[in-house]
Amino acid sequence: MAHDKPPFIVHHFDSIGSTNDYLKELADAPEWTVVVADEQTAGRGRRERTWHSTRGEGLYFSVLLRPPRSAQLLSLLASIGVAEALVNLGLVGVDIKWPNDVLIGERKICGILCEGAGSSVASSRVVVGVGINLSHAQFPADLTIAATSILIETGRRIESMSFLDAVLQRILAWYRVLISGGDARIVERWEELSTYAFGQRVRISTDAFELNGVTSGLTSAGGLVVVDDTGQAQTVLVGEVSRMRRTNS
């Protein structure tokens, strides 16, 4: 079926504190309002970390959505959209770590921060904030091991606004799948793109607990199933996943 022209309404800033914070304050913004900035002075990541947001090196944007249900699947489908846009650029080794870190091999190239916006629960406004490393030649010392960029991976500098469009198009395509009730297709596609989905020995850490076990796919709502060391299947809804090396003991 042919679709109308893309619904994106893009506000482009030279510099901003955080695109997520700005968009959360735009009370009456329609769905698919996008805030993008060349630089963020207070970029935020998950778990109250800062997001390295230097001018012109990354793509930093937020998009406002009103999902009918399942914010968890929304966060997963955003990572699918980014991963597919990277694959379409020709990147190899694209991976997703639950719930939505996009990696190249073991190095992070994109982080996604989904936050509720506004006080009315009924309107279920979600701001999906996406940071993608485009043209970093190197990273601050504390990030060097964990981060990579399109430039580092391919030697190419990507024009940020055309890549923004490519990513938004993929997120839109998967959002339409969500709207039409295609939750299972989203889960299946995420599992296809992620080496973490099955058979990986992982540690899940939250402020409250740690869980060690082996991954066994996603639930229909996007939770990560981990079979713990007593053989019990646990569904993880929040937490930081790290891959564990297998030991001989």
Interface positions with ligand BTN (CB under 6 A): 18-20, 40, 43-46, 49, 51, 60-62, 101, 111-113, 129-131
Which of 38, 183 has the CB closer to ligand BTN? 38
CB of 95 to ligand BTN, least distance (A): 14
**Least distance from ligand BTN to the Cβ atom of residue 161, Å:** 15
| Residue nearest to ligand BTN as judged by C-beta position | 111
Greatest alpha-carbon span in the chain: 58
Work out how close the CB of 1 gets to ligand BTN at its nearest, in angstroms, rounded to a whole number: 32
Quote the CA–CA distance of 198 and 176 in Å, as a whole number: 26
In the complex, least distance from residue 174 CB atom to ligand BTN, rounded to whole angstroms = 18
77/183 with CB nearer ligand BTN = 77
C-alpha span between 180 and 169 (Å, rounded): 17
Nearest to ligand BTN of 60, 190 (CB atom): 60
Select 15 or 220, whichever has its Cβ closest to ligand BTN: 15
Least Cα distance to 19 among 100, 102, 130, 99 occurs for 130
The contacts found for 117-123 with CB under 8 angstroms, 24 or more apart, are 117/23, 117/24, 117/64, 118/24, 118/27, 123/66
Pairing status of strand 33-40 against strand 9-16: parallel
In DSSP notation, 14-52 reads EEES-HHHHHHH-TTPPTTEEEEEEEESS-B-GGG-B--
Looking at the Cβ atoms of 43 and 239, the one nearer to ligand BTN is: 43
Tell me the closest approach of the beta carbon of residue 243 to ligand BTN, in angstroms. Answer: 16
